[in-house]
């Protein structure tokens, strides 16, 4: 079975490509490498340079490569940038998802696994776990583009038979345990990546945005999932669709929250480096708690995470950064 992976040159995409190859799928990566890297693409996958908004080219690739399913990662994902340039985000992410759905329908490609995000939720002011039926109300344009993409896909099942699994990732971090792949993102805003860079001397300090939140230590709380566990979930989602599963939305997290200070302490511990931390005011649009209730995906896919361990996540991220 041939799978088209848009954004497969990116961080999560390239880890997933490896898992798909390991599971025996043929993989065609479709990417414009704006934030991705050719060298991240695992051996065995073919790269086609293209833009997801280019429906004609997408359609031709699906036809020529006899594609049966798509895993759609390609997107822009910097929240602050989406606030400054919302139209770039609607164009790239939402129009990209629309073009992708149209190309799938034209070519009778009936299965899509989509990268969504916890940012689709309104977020919680108090400590509770978000379920898939918690209210959606994104606080920034990036989250809106993802929710709109989810809706486009959801509405395609009945009239066109295009079935989809939308995976709502919480905070993704870490690197492959064999050290062969990890996060290459330039100017990353992800806390564990940023802290690992600081521990390696690539940044002067790590900022904490908000120390007066109503949490135990005053900093925001997030659910961190190891990239290898997340990549595996894409393989399981594809199997679910291939077995005839209906369109669904699933949270991808471990169901445990860690504060910004706890994460910084973990990176300091695994690296042995006491890097500088700078406390700054809250950022607009940041939620207090974003923690997944992941019982739905655990049950549907009989999934047990392998790397549900904050220190292990930080250790793999730090090892990758050092290398
Ligand atoms: N990293 C996280 O913590 C996180 C959390 C939630 C959701 N996500 C989602 O996961 C997906 C992958 O994120 P990532 O962290 O791997 O980011 P990334 O930037 O490493 O990967 C994105 C890839 O998409 C490609 N791309 C972007 N726009 C494109 C376009 N128009 N046409 C073709 N290719 C295009 C980029 O070149 C890159 O290779 C994104 O959809 C993102 O919204 C990520």
Instruction: Examine the domain organization and report whether 95 and 147 are in the same domain.
Output: yes
- Predicted confidence (pLDDT) per residue in 145-157, tens digit: 999 999 999 999 9
- Take atom 15 of ligand 1 and give the residue whose Cα is closest: 11
Query: Mean pLDDT score of the chain, rounded to an integer?
Result: 96
Q: 320 φ, ψ to 5°?
A: -60, -45
Q: What is the per-residue pLDDT for 193? A: 98
Length of the chain: 323
Residue spans of beta strands (DSSP E) within the chain? 2-6, 26-31, 46-49, 67-72, 111-117, 163-169, 171-173, 205-209, 221-222, 224-226, 248-252, 258-259, 276-280, 289-290
b/e per residue, 92-110, with b = 16+ CB within 10 A?
A: bbbbbbbbbbbbbbebebb
Look at residue 287 and tell me whether its pLDDT is greater than 90.
no
Domain that holds residue 246: 2-172+224-252
pLDDT band at 131 (very low <50, low <70, confident <90, very high): very high
Instruction: Examine the domain organization and report whether 292 and 195 are in the same domain.
Output: yes
Of all residues in the chain, the percent with pLDDT exceeding 90 is 95
CA nearest to 202, candidates 118, 322, 295: 322
Instruction: Examine the domain organization and report whether 26 and 62 are in the same domain.
Output: yes
Half-sphere exposure of 161 (CA within 13 A, CB side): 8
Look at residue 260 and tell me whether its pLDDT is greater than 90.
yes
Instruction: Examine the domain organization and report whether 45 and 15 are in the same domain.
Output: yes
Instruction: Examine the domain organization and report whether 92 and 184 are in the same domain.
Output: no
Q: What is the per-residue pLDDT for 128? A: 77
Structure pTM? 0.97
Look at residue 25 and tell me whether its pLDDT is greater than 90.
yes
Instruction: Examine the domain organization and report whether 141 and 37 are in the same domain.
Output: yes
Residue of 52, 56, 75 to test ligand 1 pocket, by largest number of atoms within 8 Å of CB: 75
- Ligand 1 atom, smallest distance to 9 CA: 39
CB 24 within 8 A of CB 68: no
Instruction: Examine the domain organization and report whether 151 and 81 are in the same domain.
Output: yes
Choose one of 252, 269, 296: the last residue of a domain. 252
Residue 275 CA to ligand 1 center (angstroms) comes to 28
What mean pLDDT is predicted for residues 191-208? 98
- Predicted confidence (pLDDT) per residue in 230-253, tens digit: 999 999 999 999 999 999 999 999
Question: What is the rounded (10 degree) CA torsion for 307, 218, 12, 242?
Answer: 70
pLDDT band at 116 (very low <50, low <70, confident <90, very high): very high
Quote the number of domains for the chain: 2
The CATH number that applies at residue 277 is 3.90.25.10
- Quote the CA–CA distance of 31 and 9 in Å, as a whole number: 6
Instruction: Examine the domain organization and report whether 213 and 230 are in the same domain.
Output: no
Considering the candidates 11, 142, 224, 307, report the single residue annotated as catalytic: 142
CA nearest to 271, candidates 224, 316, 309: 316
- Quote the CA–CA distance of 312 and 291 in Å, as a whole number: 19
What mean pLDDT is predicted for residues 10-26? 98
Q: What is the per-residue pLDDT for 284? A: 75
Q: Residues with Cβ within 6 A of ligand 1?
A: 6-7, 9-13, 31-36, 51-53, 73-77, 92, 96, 115, 117, 169, 171-172, 185, 190
The CATH number that applies at residue 116 is 3.40.50.720
Q: 130 φ, ψ to 5°?
A: -80, 130
Residue 3 CA to ligand 1 center (angstroms) comes to 17
């Amino acid at each position: 079975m041939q799978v088209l992976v848009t954004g497969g040159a990116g961080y999560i995409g390239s880890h997933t490509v490896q898992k798909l190859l390991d599971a025996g799928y043929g993989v065609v990566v479709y990417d414009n490498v704006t934030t991705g890297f050719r060298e991240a693409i695992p051996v065995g996958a073919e790269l086609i340079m293209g833009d997801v908004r280019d429906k004609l080219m997408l359609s031709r690739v699906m036809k020529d490569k006899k594609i049966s399913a798509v895993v759609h990662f390609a997107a822009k994902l910097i929240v602050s940038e989406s606030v400054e340039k919302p139209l770039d985000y609607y164009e790239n992410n939402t129009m990209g998802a629309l073009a992708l759905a149209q190309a799938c329908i034209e070519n009778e490609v009936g299965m899509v696994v989509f990268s969504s995000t916890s940012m689709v939720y309104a977020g919680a002011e108090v400590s509770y776990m978000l379920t898939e039926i918690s209210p959606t109300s994104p606080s920034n344009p990036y989250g809106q583009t993802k929710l709109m993409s989810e809706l486009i896909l959801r509405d395609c099942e009945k009239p066109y038979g295009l079935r989809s699994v939308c995976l709502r990732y919480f905070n993704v971090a870490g690197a492959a345990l064999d050290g062969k792949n990890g996060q290459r993102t330039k100017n990353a805003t992800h806390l564990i990546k940023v802290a690992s860079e600081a521990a390696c001397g690539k940044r002067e300090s790590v900022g904490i945005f908000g120390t007066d939140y109503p949490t135990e230590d005053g900093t925001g709380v997030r659910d961190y999932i190891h990239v290898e566990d997340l990549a595996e979930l894409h393989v399981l989602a594809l199997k679910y669709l291939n077995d005839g599963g209906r369109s669904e939305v699933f949270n991808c997290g471990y169901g445990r929250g860690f504060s910004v200070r706890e994460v910084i302490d973990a990176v300091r511990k695994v690296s042995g480096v006491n890097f500088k931390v700078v406390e700054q005011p809250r950022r607009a649009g940041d939620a207090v708690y974003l923690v997944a209730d992941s019982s739905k995906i655990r049950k549907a896919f009989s999934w047990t995470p392998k790397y549900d361990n904050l220190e292990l996540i930080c250790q793999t991220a730090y090892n990758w950064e050092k290398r």
